[in-house]
Amino acid sequence: MIEGVGIDLVHLERVRRFYNNHKDSLSRFLTPQELRAIAQSKKKSLLALLFALKEAVFKALDYHWMNWKEIEIIHEGRRSWRVNLSGAMRKWARNRRIKQIIVDGSITSKHAFAYAMALKGKT
C-alpha cells in the first residue's frame, strides 16, 4: 500500500554554486558511503541528484524538516537505489509502518529530478 509519494526538482546550477562554496562541508550532510560515491562518480551532477532523491524521500515520508544524514541513498546499479534510514527518520518511518522506500531519478542538462514512494506494510 502506498503511504506517500514525493517528487523533487533541483537546478544543477544551484547545486554547482553550493558545491563551489561549501565543498569542504559535504560530510556534514552526506554519509561516508555517499561521499565515496560522489568522489568516484564521473558525473558531477550526482550531488544534485542526491539532493533531489533525499528531498523526494522527505516528502514521501511527509516529514517536514531535513535530517539529511539520516537518509542515505546508495546507487546499486542501473536504475537501482537503496534507501537506508537511521536515527529519527527511521523512527518516524517505523511509526508510520513504512516497510520500503522506492526511489529513482534522472538528470537533464539543467535539472536533477527524483521521485520516491513510501510503501506501508501489513498492519
Partner 1 sequence: MEPVKQKIFDKVGECLTAALGVDRDEIKMESSLTRDLGAESIDFLDIVFRLEKAFGVKIPRGDLFPENVLSNPEFVKDGKVTPQGMVELKKRLPHTNFSDFEKEPLVSRLADTFTVKMIVEYLAGRETERV
Q: Per rule CB under 8 A, is residue 25 in the interface with partner 1?
A: yes
Q: Which is nearer to partner 1, 21 or 40 (CB)?
A: 21
Q: Which is nearer to partner 1, 71 or 117 (CB)?
A: 71
Cell match 541528484: residue?
49
CA pair distance 43, 47, nearest whole angstrom? 9
CA pair distance 68, 58, nearest whole angstrom? 9
CA pair distance 105, 114, nearest whole angstrom? 4
Q: Per rule CB under 8 A, is residue 103 in the interface with partner 1?
A: no
**Which residues, 6 or more positions from 75, have their beta carbon under 8 angstroms from its beta carbon?**
37, 46, 81
Binder of partner 1 out of 14, 36, 43, 110 (CB under 8 A): 14
Q: Per rule CB under 8 A, is residue 20 in the interface with partner 1?
A: no
Interface with partner 1 (CB under 8 A): 10, 14-15, 18, 21-22, 25, 28-29, 51, 55, 58, 63-68, 87-89, 91-92, 95
